[in-house]
Structure 1
């Protein structure tokens, strides 16, 4: 697995940055190659991506979520293997550091080549820059404030 770790400082309070990140359906507005994210329930999302002409669909499960602190996920179904965590750190009352760590298992010649050339790292860095612009321009959302703990059974929306 390849590991990507990037961070960006955003000029919004931690509650706004975290809240915006919980609006998964809005990810296509700032994540390159993400066509759709459909929230299935509090813990599960269905993703459709198209990167380098390769279309993928997969499901993720949120395994740990603590408001204004972190969201940790893993893929559970489909043709993409990944896991990751996004953490939120309050810098001051109006600034937040957003740190994204992902482990991705590239499959196929195109994805392995893109990984070797650093394309995945650059894409994540670009996604975080676009998130910064998006949340600072749109003001963000209070988002979902629920808590998910490892081992929770989950609950309906």
Structure 2
């Protein structure tokens, strides 16, 4: 498994950053390679991606979600991956967004890319685009403030 950790400070209140992150269907606006995300249920999303010439479709389940604190997920099919995004209030107008994810590179190209830090830089770029997206708007495009308590992971 490869682990990636990146963070960025955004000039919006923690609730604004969190609310926007819960709008999964807006991810293609700031996540490179994400072509489409469909919110199937409160806790299930369907993703279509094209990264480095590799097209994938997979479902991801929200395994834990607490307003203004965290959103955790795991893929339920396809490439093994999962992670958590946490939101840290720095002051009334600034928030640190931290992404930690783990994935298992499938192909030789993905393994080489992981070794060279390609995905790490991609996540950093996605966070920089998220910062630009939310700061330029000044407000979220929507919000889902529901609580999802931690669900068991595979093998637990």
TM-score normalised to structure 1 length: 0.93
More off after superposition, 54-63 vs 131-140: 131-140
Q: Secondary structure at the match of 2:56?
A: strand
1:45 aligns with 2:45: yes
How far residue 110 of structure 1 moved from its aligned partner, in angstroms, is: 1.4
Partner residue, 1:85:
84
1:124 aligns with 2:104: no
How far residue 80 of structure 1 moved from its aligned partner, in angstroms, is: 1.8
| Alignment size in residue pairs | 151
Q: Is the 8 A contact 1:19 1:140 kept in 2?
A: no
Q: Is the 8 A contact 1:58 1:75 kept in 2?
A: yes
Structure 1: gaps (5+ residues)? 153-157
Partner residue, 2:56:
56
**Structure 1 moving runs of 4+ over 6 Å:** none
Q: Is the 8 A contact 1:14 1:89 kept in 2?
A: yes
RMSD across aligned positions (CA): 1.1
Partner residue, 2:28:
28
TM-score normalised to structure 2 length: 0.94
Report the Cα distance in structure 1 between the residues aligned to 2:151 and 2:32, rounded to whole angstroms. Answer: 31
Superimposed CA distance per residue, residues 9-68 of structure 1 (whole angstroms, 9 cap, x where no aligned partner): 000000000000000000000001000110000000000100111001111000110000
Structure 2: gaps (5+ residues)? none
